[in-house]
Amino acid sequence: METDPTEHEPGESGTAPPDHGPDPDPGFYGRALERMPWWIALVTAIALPFVWWRMGAIGAASFGVGAIGGYWNYVGVCRIADRLSQTVAQTGRAPRGGPRGFLRLLFIVVAAFVIIRFTHIHLAAAFLGLFTPVAAVMVEILYELGSRK
């Protein structure tokens, strides 16, 4: 018996992906995103004494500034992702990039250059602070794994 060459086994290319049904917990991501600022604050509060002990007051201040910058970046990324998803849902296509986004990026680059060049910031501590949202995501993952029934 010959098989039709256009037929595919389930999961092979050319077939629709399997339908896994509705999301069992549609509020999962919303709750996780709401907890993230608290995790960022917790990670910062736990790490700050160690940074102060190892890098001194300038290092601790630089870490704090970096953590604030990391939080602002997290909030900005959330806003951009929300606006982008709303735009795609309404129009069916992604928006074009414009001069406003480029000017915003240029301003951030110039501000970072001025801060690094003309202040006595502890660069390693500031970068550690910028990574507090990454550590907060790891804490959120551990929280979710630990709270599963």
The model's pLDDT over 39-57, given as tens digits with 9 standing for 90+, comes to 999 999 999 999 999 999 9
pLDDT < 50 stretches in the chain: none
Structure confidence at residue 25 (pLDDT): 73
Which residues does 94 contact at the CB level (< 8 Å), separation at least 6? 84, 87, 88
pLDDT at 21: 62
| Other Cβ atoms within 10 Å of 48 Cβ, number | 17
**The model's pTM:** 0.71
Apex 137 CA angle, 60 and 114, nearest 5: 40
Structural contact between residues 125 and 62, judged by C-beta atoms closer than 8 angstroms: yes
